Structure 1
């Protein structure tokens, strides 16, 4: 993996560079999208399947690791302080100790990873970007399942906290790739080879 000497600036990071007002607006919209997508769920146990991972990796690649990381940190802080932004309108510090705790911590790790790799390596090239997005989903799912394993055992975690998320992760990764490329092209970003 060769890193570029000059990082790629994703479209929302470029827009946020224009002013603090743009940066604030992008952050607020990002937090709102994360909260909204958490409510679109298939209620399975022990953790619901939501649209949130699609929004998470898409925003990470469109914002970069700094703005994306800040957006996710604000979202997590809002939920942990009691705002009903997690799936099912849940909130509070107990979310970290519940079955969703690994996924919640994984949101920040995944955002930083995807944002950094997009800026410094993938740089909108479709195949590397697909790999970065898939890796982001994998990291999120492994962190979530690993936490469930500490509570319910590894077999249960694999069967109920990892496998059910695989088909959706594939679909959401492809959808995220298409969304990111479309947004960057619409913004006038040059085509990558």
Structure 2
């Protein structure tokens, strides 16, 4: 993938914003509520599929290298065995999917961007919840029924994530035309 300097800066910016979002959190059970998804969604909405996913990949790689950028100030290769790592993997694909849907129009509507973020969060949960279940069962040794994984890794977060979807779509509708003016 060939990218220019502006694109590198934007990808790095959204990786940094996602890291900052990890530190704004509400500790709640197994996985804390953070603003990471808001910046993941905005990366897809504003940067598109390729750069949005790249920004999240950079974020995950930086964390795996040991920089404490994940929720709870964690980082390092050992986070692969944490219950929340599946969501981090989901950020990469989720941002890509959001970007693919958002890219479909030169002037996306709120409804299109909201739908894109809903599909993106569904992708993140589709990776994160099974990962949480499998890590709990096979790595941590505390087998939980899948319905409990859904309770602690999905149901608790839906109201906040729906608000983040609305916010990302509303910001996207306002920011995209301005970005197009600046870079036209």
Q: TM-score range by the shorter chain?
A: 0.7 to 0.9
Partner of 1:172: 164
Conserved? CA contact 2:43–2:51, under 8 Å: no
Question: Superposition RMSD on alpha carbons, in Å?
Answer: 1.8
How many matched pairs? 171
Deviation at 1:121, TM superposition (A): 6.2
Q: Distance in 1 between matches of 2:35 and 2:114?
A: 18
The runs of 4+ residues in structure 1 deviating greater than 6 Å are none
- What's the TM-score once normalised by structure 1's chain length? 0.82
* TM-score, scaled to structure 2: 0.86
Aligned position for 1:77 = 61
Q: 2:38 aligns with which of 54, 62, 66?
A: 54
Unaligned 5+ runs, structure 2: 137-143
Structure 1 contact 64–118 (Cα < 8 Å) conserved:
yes
Give ranges in structure 1 of 5+ residues lacking alignment: 1-16
Tell me whether 1:183 sits opposite 2:167 in the alignment.
Answer: no
Deviation sequence 1:91-132 (CA, Å, 0-9, x none) = 012212210121011011101111112113696132222111
Matched position secondary structure for 1:89 = coil
